Amino acid sequence: MSDNTNPYSNVISPGEADSQVDAATLDGASLSTDGTLSGNSDTLVSTQKAVKTYVDNATEDYDDAFSIDGSDNVTTAADLTTTGDLNCGVDLDVSGDAVIDGDLTMGSGSLDITGSAAISSTLTAETLTLSIADGTTPMTITSTTKVSNLNVDQVDGCDVEDSDSLGTSDVKIPTQGNVKAYVDSSANPIGSIIAFDLSMPSVPAISSSYEECNGQQISDGDSPFDGYRLRNLNGANVALTLTWTADAGGAYATVAATDVTALAEGDDVLGGAIAAGSTITDITGTTVTISDVAIDTEVESTFTNDGRFLRGSATSGTGQKDALQGHAHGMTYEVNVTGPGGGYNFGGSGNTYTSDSIESDGANGTPRTDTETRPINLEVVYYQKIK
């Protein structure tokens, strides 16, 4: 039978298949089971399996920039490679490697790459998921430029732990507030007074958390003492203009609450018409009383001392003048008087006895005398922690 003659005698209606027909070609095209589609032929027809194998194993190659829009997500079981920009408005799930030679913009979609990702320009995405098992670095960054607004869960494998107690872990990082709270609680609290030996060679600079106890007024918004004067422990001069009211019990003046903290009982008081040798005899609240009873005017008053020793007490801030414990001297003497008139009477009213200067007892050396009573000491400079 010639090529132009129908070999079948039965008639098949349009749209109806003949289940008995099995030909070597289909419309002139031969059947191919090659899953690689390597022939790239127009005369071959691939089987269903061959097509699925090719699609499942193929690399998505795009030579130009392209966009993916719509409501359906995009999933590829193989690699994804473009030589241009990729704009994707839906979720993109790549089970292999992704190589984008340009910008990758995900819009509102998420990006999930199981393999490696190489993006030559900018990656823009709301969510980036790197499905890499532990032990493999998920990202490699060659730039040393800081990434702004990057919030990570760990730093070099260490977690941040918000605890003021501070443990001993090498994989926990405390916050700045934790460190400050720990140091403040375990070191010197605010208000503590510390003695510094500033004349020692190579003494480092004192922290700004401390200020000298010289009656100075603090001007530091970070300190609870802001606006107040510190104690005058180092013998400085504190000058205040005060209005004194004369009184038989001692002239008195009202001192600002922010200034009175620098004064203490026993401080010397000088200035204007204030009597020489005057001292503070009492401080009650903000009322300061001095030993001068006559001063009755406004005058610049200078308060000073020779430096103060510190002593423990149930309260703080109350000062004292130097003093010697009250005592009496016993005297034993014998008088033998002979004369033509007989015995003489010693004692009775009108007789005054004055002792000589302090002398050695012959065993403990020559006594030392000065304007104050004091133990052996070494001068230091007192500072107070203000913040």
Q: Are residues 50 and 102 in the same domain?
A: no
Q: Are residues 52 and 73 in the same domain?
A: no
Cα 317 versus chain centre, distance: 31
**Helices H / strands E in the chain, number of each:** 2, 27
- Residue 220 falls within a domain, yes or no? no
Do 51 and 33 fall into the same domain? yes
State pLDDT tens for residues 190-233: 999 999 999 999 999 998 999 999 999 999 999 999 999 999 99
Question: Would you say residue 18 lies in a domain?
Answer: no
Determine the pLDDT at residue 174: 87
Same domain, 96 and 115: yes
**Domain match, 88 and 30 both:** no
pLDDT score, position 369: 83
Q: Are residues 48 and 77 in the same domain?
A: no
Q: Is the pLDDT of residue 87 over 90?
A: no
Distance CA 6, CA 48 (A): 29
- pLDDT, the chain, mean: 80
pLDDT tens for 222-278 read: 999 999 999 999 999 999 999 999 999 999 999 999 999 999 999 999 998 999 999
What is residue 57's predicted lDDT score, i.e. its pLDDT? 64
Q: Is residue 286 part of a domain?
A: no
Looking at the fold, whether 29 and 71 belong to one and the same domain comes out as no
The band of 13, judged by pLDDT with boundaries at 50, 70 and 90, is low
Question: Exposed, middle or buried by CB within 10 Å (0-12, 13-18, 19+), for 262?
Answer: buried
User: Model confidence at 350, in pLDDT bands (50, 70, 90)?
Assistant: very low
Domain for residue 4, yes or no? Answer: no
Whole-number Å distance between alpha carbons of 42 and 36 = 15
pLDDT band at 349 (very low <50, low <70, confident <90, very high): very low
> Residue 366: inside a domain, yes or no?
no
Would the pLDDT of 281 be above 80? yes
Among 238-247, 301-310, 320-329, 363-372, name the one with the lowest average pLDDT: 320-329
Q: How many domains does the chain have?
A: 3
Identify the domain containing residue 30 by its residue range.
25-56
More confident residue, 247 or 97: 247
- 302, part of any domain: no
Q: Is the dihedral of CA 362, 366, 370, 374 positive or negative?
A: negative
Strand 238-243 and strand 298-304: the pairing is: antiparallel
- How is residue 207 written in tokens? 């922290």
Strand-pair category, 86-88 with 66-68: parallel
Say what the pTM is.
0.53
Is 169 inside a domain boundary? yes
In 338-380, which ranges are E strands? Answer: none
Q: Is 237 in contact with 300 (CB distance < 8 Å)? A: no
Nearest to 179 by CA among 163, 201, 194, 195: 163
Closest CA to 260 of 287, 281, 280: 287
What is the biggest distance separating any 2 CA atoms in the chain, rounded to whole angstroms? 194
Q: Is residue 131 part of a domain?
A: yes
Nearest to 384 by CA among 182, 223, 210: 210
